[in-house]
Structure formats: C-alpha cells, structure tokens
Amino acid sequence: MTLEAKQAVETADVVVGYKTYVKLVESIIKLGTEVFSGTMGKEVERAKVAVAKALEGKKVVVISSGDPGVYGMAGLVLEVADLENAKIPAVIIPGVTSATAAAARLGAPLVTDFAVISLSDLLTPWSLIETRLHAAAKADFVIVLYNPQSVGRTEPLAQAYQILLQYRKPGTPVGIVRQVGRKGEETSITTLKDLLSCEVDMATTIIVGNSTTRIVSKRMVTPRGYDL
Amino acid sequence: MTLEAKQAVETADVVVGYKTYVKLVESIIKLGTEVFSGTMGKEVERAKVAVAKALEGKKVVVISSGDPGVYGMAGLVLEVADLENAKIPAVIIPGVTSATAAAARLGAPLVTDFAVISLSDLLTPWSLIETRLHAAAKADFVIVLYNPQSVGRTEPLAQAYQILLQYRKPGTPVGIVRQVGRKGEETSITTLKDLLSCEVDMATTIIVGNSTTRIVSKRMVTPRGYDL
C-alpha cells in the first residue's frame, strides 16, 4: 500500500468497497467511519453510493485491490459521476497493480515491453480477448494474465494456452502468483507446457515470458539487454 | 511510494541509484548510510557495487523510480548476482509504475487490456518496437508509451505516430503526463492527431486510448463495459 492510499483511508468519512477488499484495510479505518461493503457484481451500485455520499460533502474513499485504474473501480466512479452530472473533485490514487507485484515475487519478468490481458469474458467479448492473445504472443510481448479462471470457468485459460503455444516454446518460463501481497500468498515458476496442471484461480496472476525470458538463480528474468 | 519501500530506504546500510532518483529519497536516508549515486548509462556498474556490498553483509537498497521491475534495475541486479555466483537474498519491492500513476492523473484509461511499450531503441531493436506498435494498435489495446523521446531523438515518436494512425481514429484521446508524482508534474489530454505538437521528453508517459476510450467530464476513460 502507498503512503497516500493509507492516509486517504485513515481520514475517510465513508469507505466503499467489495467486502474482501474492505476487510484488508479494516484495521486502519477510523471509528465512526461509514462503511459500505458489498458483493461482487454490485459495482455499479457501490459507485452510485460513493457519488451520492460525495455530493453530501463527505470524504468518500472507494477501495480497489491493487491499482484502481487496472480493471478496478476508477473508471466506473467517473462514469457514474458524469452520468449523474455530479461535480465532485474525484482524485484517483494509483497503487501497485498485480502485474508488477507478481513480477517482483517472481524476479524481473517485465523489464521489457509487456501486455496485460484479462481472461474474464464477463465484460469483454471472448473473440476480442483471443485477438489480443494472438497479437501479444506474436509480437513477443511478455504477457500478464489477470482473472485467469474460476471454479466452473476453466475454458478461457485452456484456450489461451493453445494460442500461446502457437507462438512460444513449450519450455517458456511461466510465473504463477496467488494472492499476491495477501495472506496465503503462493509463488511458483513453471513452463508453458505445464501451465494447465498448476493451481490457478481468480486471485492468481500469471506471467508468460517472451522468447528471451529465462531462469536466473531460480528466478524468472527477462533480460533488459545490457551488455554484461 | 509504498510503506514497504519507505521502510527499506530508511533502514538501509547502503543506497545505490541513478542520482536523480537518489535525490528523490534523500530526506529519508538515515545519517551514516553509504550512498552510491551515478549517471545514466552506468547501470551495470551500479548493479555490481550493489552486489559487492551485499556480499559484505550489508543491507543494500537499489533505487528505481516507479516500479523497479518495469524498465528498472531489478533484472540487472539479479543477472549480475547470478553471473558473480553471489548468493544474496535479494527482495524486489514493487512500486507504482508510471503507466498506472499517469493513468490516475488522466482519469481511468487503463481499465481494460493494455500494452506497455518503450520507444527507446538503446536496448531493443527498432524493428521489434515497430512490430509491437503494429500488434498492439491492431488488437485494440490501450497503449502506454515509455521513454517517448529526448532532445535529439524525436524520430521514434514520429514513427510511432504514423503507425498508430493506421489503426486509430485521429480523434482518439491521448493522455500526456510529465514528471508524474514529482515536482513540476504536468498533465494534458489531447487527440492522436495532435500528439506531435505536444511537449514530450524522456520523463513523459503517453497513454493512447483504444477504440472505446472517451472523454468523461474532462477525463480520459476507457469504459470497462458495465451496464449503466
């Protein structure tokens, strides 16, 4: 967490967020703060509550995990405020997104150009996700996969795996980090060919190396290209 | 800055970094800490100093700006340690990378899939950078450009502009942030067609919207796809 985010939560009149994320900052919310925590799928509702409370003149903090601008709530709050013609001085506090947090645990796989792709087709058509997987794999980007799979939704990762294997060698290093920065964090490094036999859920970030990524003292490193 | 990074700097025996970045944390370096600051281009030398000092049993902190794993020093330090067969317990502390810091200032342009591309061809051949620009633009990724240009190196941005215009409308929103999170920070939102008339230097991050990115109450937002 950044110093700026911590200070914002500590001084909030109202905290709004998905219940799992609110729990993560519970210990720094001051007594008397109004808390609106809710379930997955109720994001629009939470954005509306946040905007309404801000219009009452309250200092409202909307929590996202990681960075609020990467598959987080930042855009939705701005859109809802705009729709409701609410002139509120919204400030977005950037954070450490899972891509770079996971990279840090694995070594330094992102030290070159990379692409971030969510495998959730709830809000993006699968055909577009496929197009992006092909494009990123072909152009040798290191690829970060968010929301790779959940209970009962294992097909996207299996399909991504087939696409990636069309461009990358089976031995390409792949890093898998679950619950990065949270209790129960787990990190493992495998190869592309073994990706599907690893334990992966919605709280997992997967980093697929490019053609130059290699294992350096048990860590995953994409050389930046310095002459050593 | 994250709480974790602050604490690491405050408790370091040795601080190593590019002089501009060392200066940014000067106020939290404790008295008596050895400081090795140096110039651009001496990264390998600094990594070697860091590894040598760690082998002496000292707590060494190598500073990067933003996230050390995104075009930063993390990989180089691991590579040098490996080459010198130095068994040091290196920990990489993730940070807020310019992509998401700049996005926060602009609004929420990265709330969907995005690609990060450096336009510096010092360590990556220009032909590969071009391939990646084509791939990312064609697959409708939001595109973040790092190191877009410097005094006397304006061609890469001009070439990137020509490539992007082959796939994106001239009116596509483009966000430009200089010195994000530092003194003298400047933010502007323009369109793709006007990109080349903006002031851009090495400390600038450029975010090029995708086909759905739009201006919402003067901010740059890529809708996540929620039904409002």
pLDDT digit string, tens, across residues A76-114: 999 999 999 999 999 999 999 999 999 999 999 999 999
Distance from CA of B199 to the nearest CA of A (A): 23
- On whether any CB of chain B is under 8 Å from the CB of A189, the answer is no
Q: Do A135 and B136 touch (CB under 8 A)?
A: yes
- Residue A6 class from Cβ within 10 Å (0-12 exposed, 13-18 middle, 19+ buried)? middle
Chain B residue numbers with beta carbons less than 8 Å from the beta carbon of A83 are: 228
pLDDT digit string, tens, across residues B168-185: 999 999 999 999 999 999
Q: Do B139 and A134 touch (CB under 8 A)?
A: yes
- On whether any CB of chain B is under 8 Å from the CB of A42, the answer is no
Regions of chain B with pLDDT less than 50:
none
Which of B1, B105, B136 comes nearest A115 by C-beta? B136
| Amino acid identity at A221 | V
Alpha-carbon torsion A10, A12, A18, A19, what sign? positive
Structure tokens of A169?
């060698």
Q: With bands split at pLDDT 50, 70 and 90, how would you rate the model's confidence at A164?
A: very high
Q: Do A75 and B44 touch (CB under 8 A)?
A: no
The reported pTM is 0.97
Per-residue pLDDT, B40: 84
Q: Do B96 and A92 touch (CB under 8 A)?
A: no
Q: Do A136 and B116 touch (CB under 8 A)?
A: no
Mean per-residue pLDDT over chain A, rounded: 96
Distance from CA of B216 to the nearest CA of A (A): 6
Taking alpha carbons only, the member of B135, B112, B133 closest to residue B192 is B133
Which of A74, A132, A217 comes nearest B78 by C-beta? A217
Check whether A150 has a pLDDT greater than 90.
no
Which of A71, A79, A114 comes nearest B116 by C-beta? A114
Does residue A69 contact residue B108 with C-beta atoms inside 8 Å?
yes
**Half-sphere exposure in the Cβ direction for A134 (13 Å, CA):** 9
**Half-sphere exposure in the Cβ direction for B113 (13 Å, CA):** 31
